Amino acid sequence: MFYHAGVSWLPAGFLGVDAFFTLSGFLITTLLLNELRHRSTIGLASFWARRARRLLPALFLVVAFCSLMVWFVAAPGTYPQFQSDGFASLLYVANWHFILDGGNYFVANSAPSLLTHTWSLAIEEQFYVLWPLVLFGLWKLGRGLKTLLMLCVIGAVASTLWMAFLFHHGASINRLYYGTDTHAQCLMVGAGLAAMLALVAQRRRQGNAVPSGEVIEGVGGDPAWMATNSRATMLLSIGGLVGLVGAAFLWTRSLWTGSFLYNGGFLVMAFLSALVILSVVSHQRGFLARAISFAPLVFIGRISYGLYLWHFPVFQILDAQRVGHSGIWLVGVRFAVTFAAAILSFYFIERPIRHAVSLKGWRTPVSMAVALVVVGALVVVASAVTATPQATGAPVVSQPTGQKDPIKVMVVGDSIALTLGFPFSDVTYQKKYGVTTEDIGILGCGVVLLEDAVSECVTPPDPKVPNLFALDAAAFARYQPDVVVLLSGRWETFDHIQQGKTYNIFNSFFQEEVRTGLQKMVDITRASGAKLVILTTPCVGPQAGSGIDSNNHPTGTGSNSTLPARQAIYNGLVQSVAKANPGEVTVIDFNAMVCPGGTYQSAINGEIIRQEDGIHIQLIASDFYDPLLFPKIAEVGKQARAEKLAKK
């Protein structure tokens, strides 16, 4: 939740999901092994029915809520793929759906799906379906706990090696992160811990050596797991502390763009989580077990499923514009609403259905099927009535209603410009400053159109790149802006290839290419009758030193593109082009605004202004960007409009 809230001190908060995968693998395997020990079989149908009663009601409720938000609250076109997202979530295949959909889990260039977070629920459910079959099969074959433990070890290692193989062969970030196969390593570590403890308990029971200690309420477990001497309890305490500190280190230091996570980092996180779990369940008088048994934490654990389900759509709907606050106040409102929704869901939906006697037997699948049809129908209707204007091929224009002749602003440039268009679309600020905006930024597209960008992106990912200036000229003719705002420079700081030779912005040839590209933008803007505002390229965060290539694959290598010297040269070229075109070009030192003192800032005055990748603009930071830029842009627009009138 903190990660999705955008807190800057937790760049790898997404690893909390991996800790949960490890815990889930442990709990489910323990549950199944206990059933085998007591009943000598696994009731597959009853197990799956219990899972359905536990998980489906809250999921149906959240998907229905998201459907209503798309239908009645979100602007048309905000969630163009909601129908496929909804069905993928309901059928627990969301992770594979988002892999096929493309995009990037960590970098949003458009409003993320309200159901993005269901990818992890899909992996969980796939595990719930397949893993009982594996254990049942091993039992039928007469295999014991040693075989199960070996299988878990092999599975964890294989999943880790497979992720590394895919990483080194150019798989996309979504394929690496969303895959059931690549994330199975965490589940297998948890399952392996359960098998190991079951093996210890089995031997103790066979030798009548079960410790006499009792499990603590709120922790649970098996007395046969307990440590039996002071040395063991000391080692467990140390191990738990190592796991906790190590996990905290990874949460605060790991970067999704680096190579570590995809080459064993997720496995390390799983092992650290397993150390904490082992310490808690085997040393229940230790500090970790006592901390976890603290009543408020027990309560949070009880409603944790609802918290996870509700937090992402609530966070997306309750943006700074709707709440009227940003920073810590926005985080507080989001958390309060999420907790309220999770508590209501738990006490009025989840728990009553889970324990309802009337839903035993055949009634469970029938009632769940009916609910699935009803919610699915709501998804279809919500998707149909919010038909997107993007289906016509025209960009979405943010036009304030009731505004007479607002200054028309068109944003052009690369993906940083594309993300800046989101805070610019805040209608409240548009009305305040008398502007309307349209954003036509293109992913991976700067003003230099050489053959390749070779530092981190072999080929610009958008096929429109070679025709950039023609496309912009056509867009200017259609929209007839008063002001064109150009934000570029990210791609100009990469190394490029021209006729087999590598160039960068330190070379005079390449500098001339940049100057030529900027001048072309001046020329087509002038031809449209508009004025050009160029924003200096902003500094990027340290996490941007490891980027992604054209296939959305994290390279894990350092990038010269982050060198301040390269960015300074580009910004100097911007100033030189402005001086060569007096009265036509206005330069706004955007870099100084977002990087005060030349230092990267993910947040300023409590407002999150940059995304986790350290490059792109935070999509819901209109409170920061609009008052900063709109007055200057509107002033240029008024000058342009006055000159147009004078020529008539």
Share of the chain above pLDDT 90, in %: 45
**Better-scored residue on pLDDT, 365 or 50:** 50
- Express each pLDDT in 40-53 by its tens digit: 889 999 899 889 88
Give the pLDDT confidence of 61-88 residue by residue, as tens digits: 999 999 999 888 877 777 888 899 999 9
Cα–Cα distance, 603 to 620 (Å, whole number) = 12
The residue-averaged pLDDT of 421-428 equals: 86
- Which range among 79-93, 129-143, 249-263, 587-601 shows the weakest confidence by mean pLDDT? 249-263
C-alpha dist (Å) from residue 259 to 409, 441, 547, 548: 40, 29, 10, 11
Residue 452 parent element (H or E): strand 452-453
For residue 287, the one-letter residue type is: F
Q: What CA–CA distance (Å, rounded) separates 459 from 443?
A: 12
Kindly tell me the sign of the dihedral angle through the C-alpha atoms of 27, 28, 29, 33: positive
Q: Are the beta carbons of 56 and 124 closer than 8 angstroms?
A: no
Domains of the chain listed by start with CATH number = 13-293+356-385 (no CATH), 403-647 (3.40.50.1110)
Tell me, what's the pLDDT at 605?
Answer: 81
Question: What single-letter DSSP state applies at residue 463?
Answer: T
Q: Cα 344 to the chain's mean position, in Å?
A: 26
Task: Give the angle 641-646-648 at the CA atoms, nearest 5°.
Answer: 100
- pLDDT mean over 88-97: 94
Strand ranges (DSSP E) for 483-620?
A: 483-487, 496-498, 501-503, 531-535, 585-588, 603-604, 607-608
Query: Is-contact 210 224, C-beta < 8 A?
Result: yes
Residue 90 vs residue 399, higher pLDDT: 90
Inter-axis angle of helices 304-317 and 295-302, nearest 10: 70
Query: For residues 484 and 436, is the Cβ–Cβ distance under 8 A?
Result: no
Q: What is the pLDDT of residues 17-30, one digit of tens each?
A: 999 999 999 999 99
**Best CA proximity match to 267, nearest among 347, 357, 158, 427:** 158
Amino acid at 231: R
Distance between CA atoms of residues 546 and 259, nearest Å: 8
Q: Would the pLDDT of 589 be above 90?
A: yes
CA distance 118 to 66: 12
pLDDT (tens digit per residue) in 372-382? 888 888 888 88
Token pair for residue 61?
A: 């409720």
Segment holding 435, helix H or strand E: strand 435-439
Is the predicted pLDDT of residue 262 greater than 80, yes or no? yes
- In the chain, pLDDT over 70 holds for what percent of residues? 85
Kindly report the length of the chain.
Answer: 648
Q: In the predicted model, what is the mean pLDDT of residues 237-259?
A: 87
What is the average pLDDT across 130-157? Answer: 94
Mean pLDDT score of the chain, rounded to an integer? 84
- Other Cβ atoms less than 10 A from the Cβ of 297: the count is 12
- Tell me the pLDDT tens digit for each residue of 381-419: 888 765 444 433 334 445 444 446 899 999 998 889 988
Q: Which residue has the higher pLDDT, 299 or 112?
A: 299
What whole-number distance in Å separates Cα of residue 435 and Cα of residue 487? 18
Amino acid at 444: G
User: Which pLDDT band, with edges at 50, 70 and 90, does 264 fall under?
Assistant: very high
* pLDDT digits 0-9 by tens, 536-558: 999 988 766 545 444 455 544 44
φ, ψ at 616 (rounded to 5°): -85, 165
Q: 198 pLDDT band (50/70/90 cuts)? A: very high
410-429 in b/e form (b: 16+ CB < 10 A) is: bbbbbbbbbbbbbbbbbbeb
Please give the average per-residue pLDDT across 488-510, as a whole number.
81
Evaluate if pTM is beyond 0.75. no
Q: Which two tokens stand for residue 310?
A: 């509700």
CA–CA distance from 226 to each of 38, 197, 277, 286 (Å)?
20, 10, 13, 11
Amino acid letter for position 106: F
For 294-434, where are the E strands, in sequence order? 397-398, 407-413
DSSP β-bridge partners for residue 497? 452, 502
Lay out the sheet containing 483-487: strands in order across.
397-398, 435-439, 407-413, 483-487, 531-535, 585-588
The residue-averaged pLDDT of 616-642 equals 91
Q: Work out the average pLDDT over 168-184.
A: 89
Chain centroid to CA 172: 14
* Least confident piece of the model among 442-456, 576-590, 628-642: 442-456
Q: 3-state secondary structure string, 38-107?
A: HHCCCCHHHHHHHHHHHHHHHHHHHHHHHHHHHHHHCCCCCCCCHHHHHHHHHCCCHHHHHHHHCCCCCC
Q: What is the mean pLDDT of residues 336-355?
A: 92
First to last CA, the chain: 57
Across 4-8, 214-218, 229-233, 516-520, the highest mean pLDDT is recorded for 516-520
Amino acid at 507: N
CA 445, CA 35: separation in Å to the nearest integer? 58
Tokens describing residue 452: 């390749």
**pLDDT digit string, tens, across residues 276-328:** 999 998 888 888 888 888 889 889 999 999 999 999 999 888 876 677 766 77
Calpha distance 4→41 (Å, rounded): 41
pLDDT exceeds cutoff 60 at 485: yes
Distance CA 625, CA 620 (A): 10
The answer to whether residues 438 and 409 touch, using CB atoms and an 8 Å cutoff, is yes
Residue 548 per-residue DSSP state: B
pLDDT at residue number 462? 44
Distance CA(452)–CA(467), nearest Å, equals 15
